[in-house]
Chains A and B, each alone.
Chain A
Amino acid sequence: MQFRLETRVRSPAWMNLVLPVAAVSITLVICSGLIAAAGADVFAAYGALFKGAFGNRFNFIETLVKAAPLIFTGLAVAVAFRAKFWNIGAEGQLLAGAMAAAFIGAREGLPAWSLVPLMIAGGAAAGGIWASVPALLKVRFKVDDVVATLMLNFVMFYGMMALLSGPWKDSLSGYPDSPDIRMDAEFPILLEPTRLHLGVLLAGVGALLVWLLMTRTTFGFAIRAVGENARAAAHGGIPVNRVVFFTAVLSGGLAGLAGVGEVAGLHFQVMATLSPGYGYTGIVIAMLARLNPIGVIPSAIFFAAIATGAETMSRATGVPVFFADVIQGASLICMLVALLFTQYRVRVQTLARNA
């Protein structure tokens, strides 16, 4: 008996749903080995994880709050990857958006009503501008986008740390934190007394808008065409470089909004620990969602649930919280393997087939 891969004529639609679910299930099975190795009961551990993420209204809302920045970074990556602009820089673009929001939100001179809209616009613009740097390098000088976007994350992070340790340091705090934003700049809470803030709603609306953009507009059409076959797109009259550039800016803007939400809805300042790698997790989220903007929502909620649930699990069973990172990594690999099946089918062939 022998296995071989054959090309599929088309990939069936049900795969969009089945593959992520299968990838996640296999991830959980694989990771149960680690739970056992940590000396805990597998079912008890996953039970605690689920309870911690969805067990009651409070936990569920915490999961949603955690999902908001992940939805934005997931969208950022999904949009960019569609155009084959490999934006690994959502992390830096998020920080750019967060810093812009924190800067605007702390301005005293501005009228109170203008703060939230200005923070949103300013944060998106900052993320977009930061993403325009590698985009310009790519379309003008063919600089590799993976390397450029990734490296700029560190530039942004250490640039931010330099500001926070010096000129932008909150004089009242001993830590490298920025001053708090004004009360009027905080996102309204949608459901007292939880932390469900406007940013969560914005993330959901954002996913819908991005989906409309990708599927219903000529710009979305151009993005898909450029991503799937840039040469054919160019021959067909689409200005490829311009499309790549504006896709990158859009992607950066979405990542910037993730930062705005974290500052205006949750932390009210920027500090070193603002993002525990939301930009990178966005890559995994987008891949798991197969770059579908609507799919980004459940995908982001899944990763948020793992993160919030891991703490409960850790307290209940002693499995370290780093387990969440393992699940994240393993699910990306499982999804990448699963994606193979959209292109190929496995055929089992027996050797005795001659008459």
Chain B
Amino acid sequence: MPTDVASGKRPLLSMRGIEKRFGALRANASVDLELSSGEVLGLLGENGAGKTTLMNVLFGMYSADAGSIEIDGRPMNIARPADALDAGVGMVHQHFHLVPRHSVLENLMVGEPGRGLKLDAESALVRLREIASRYGLELDPETLVGDLTVGEQQRLEIVKALFRGARILILDEPTSVLTPQQTESLFRAIRAMATDGVGIIFISHKLNEVIAITDRLAVMRRGRVVAQVENDATLTRQKLAELMCGHPILPPEKRPTESGRTLLKLAGIDVELGPDHRRKLSEVTLDVHAGEIVGVAGVSGNGQRELAEVVAGVISPSHGAIEVDGQAVHASTPRGMQRLGVAHIPEDRMGAGLLTTLPLTDSVMLPLAHKSPFSRFGWINRKAVRKFVLEQIEKFDIRTEGPDVRTGTLSGGNLQKALLARELALDPLVLVAAQPTRGLDVAAVEFVHAQFLKLRAEGRGVLLISEDLEELFAISDRIVVMYEGRIVGDLDASVTTPAEVGLLMAGAKAA
């Protein structure tokens, strides 16, 4: 618990001259960062700018090559996460570290020094209640974590950090999994914690949110902190975006198009998965027309992934019909759907999209290698492949040392560009893109959106699945909302509002 709010002259946290190299890459170049008690500091930067590295140094995941960390003016040696926790640093990662089969209370007590062999559940419960009521982070201690919503799991991660006495809380992209309403309640908790003296480092790509919640901003670029600005009335999105990229960013231009023939038609699609035949999609009916971007909104886990995989041919529906450009699809396979003109950018771009352990060339060629001119009679034409990959690197401005580097070494934005390049090389009629800009920086997001708008202008269709409402409203023509495997709303993007979509996402209409 925070104690000395009043002694706030000295910064709560002071990182000085932090250096971290990975081979030739200087991920952190003598970074200085300060955080006061009760302050919400926004940490901004493109992918690969060094935010995550810096936070991993603070949290003891990496050790810095040089530099010092002081907390409350005392030098700290943080060599592992346990040291960070002892020093009062808590971190909520993008991916939660919880045990699904354990209850909320049991998860809280993981890593607690028990009394002998006994865990002190009584006092843990008391402290949980206290934290919950103090910051509005209500949780039922007996519920199994596996039964919590994503928003509640995040709440538990925050409570866990506070429970262990965090006075410095790092939130890494905390809103990427939340509905607008959940984000509001997170922000209320952040404000309550800050009032209580907790220093909060808020990492996000969503500039509107950063402007809404932070007191001060530090912008990183190429391993350095290039700007520190107070969040006052003069700060705009535009200015922040420029600070991050080092050059002005133009918002996408969306020209009106005539929406044409139906390119993708789903009628009454049901999907049941697993040995217990759990219903993942129910009676999903959806059209995508030529020259149209259809946005799919929904809180993660409401059937969006299954929807994308049905269209991509990865899973087969148990009922319902699919048509691509008027042609009925029978037994669907990924390659079959590719032949009909469907390209797919999977949500999990590392796990389901690219071959991270193999050279970039292999990742790019994955759906293309069997096609002319890249191979004949099963024999790969290495010259044609190399030429093609070099062209794509050039055309999509993929930042890499060359086509032979291991795919996994590229940054998130460049990985996505590589994936986009290869799927567009399939010359698709319909592109299904699931969370295509998650974790990307402003410049990369604009690039991806520009590609989608180009497809739209060429009279192709895009099915854009996203949890980012800002994105959906920016480029979609229509927005459908998914809740518990059903489509609960089909709205004209120019007429509806984020609030209306947010309510539908939370299941307002489903009951």
Contacts and interface: CB of A to CB of B under 8 A. Distances in A.
A216 B369 contact: no
A315 interface: no
A228 to B, nearest CB: 5
Contacts of B346: 235
7 contacts: A9-B23, A218-B379, A232-B352, A234-B314, A235-B334, A237-B367, A351-B79
Query: How big is chain B's contact interface, by range?
Result: 35 or more
Given A232-B355, A233-B366, 12 more contacts: A217-B378, A217-B379, A218-B375, A225-B362, A228-B355, A231-B348, A232-B366, A236-B366, A237-B367, A239-B335, A353-B64, A355-B16
B357 A216 contact: no
Interface string B483-497: 000000000000000
B63 interface: yes
A216 B69 CA distance: 52
Contacts of A194: none
Interface in B331-368: 333-335, 338, 344, 346, 348, 351-358, 362, 365-367
A218 B370 contact: yes
B51 to A, nearest CB: 18
Nearest to A215: B380
Contact of B356 (A4, A224, A229): A229
B100 interface: no
B451 to A, nearest CB: 19
A296 B17 CA distance: 49
A228 B358 contact: yes
Interface residues of A, number: 30
Interface in A302-355: 347, 349, 351, 353-355
Given A10-B405, A235-B312, A221 B369 contact: yes
Given A10-B406, A232-B366, A235-B314, A225 B352 contact: no
A2 interface: yes
A214 to B, nearest CB: 11
Chain A binding surface SS class: mixed
Nearest to A10: B406
A221 B352 contact: no
A204 to B, nearest CB: 22
A224 B358 contact: yes
A238 interface: yes
A218 B377 CA distance: 9
A218 B23 CA distance: 34
B228 interface: no
B380 to A, nearest CB: 6
Contacts of A232: 351-355, 366
Q: Which 6 A-B pairs have the closest CB atoms?
A: A237-B335, A236-B366, A237-B334, A236-B367, A355-B68, A235-B352
A59 to B, nearest CB: 41
Interface in A203-227: 216-219, 221-222, 224-225
B409 interface: yes
Interface in B372-431: 375, 378-380, 382, 405-406, 409
B121 interface: no
A2 B77 CA distance: 13
A211 B318 CA distance: 42
Contact of B357 (A228, A231, A234, A238): A228
A2 B79 CA distance: 10
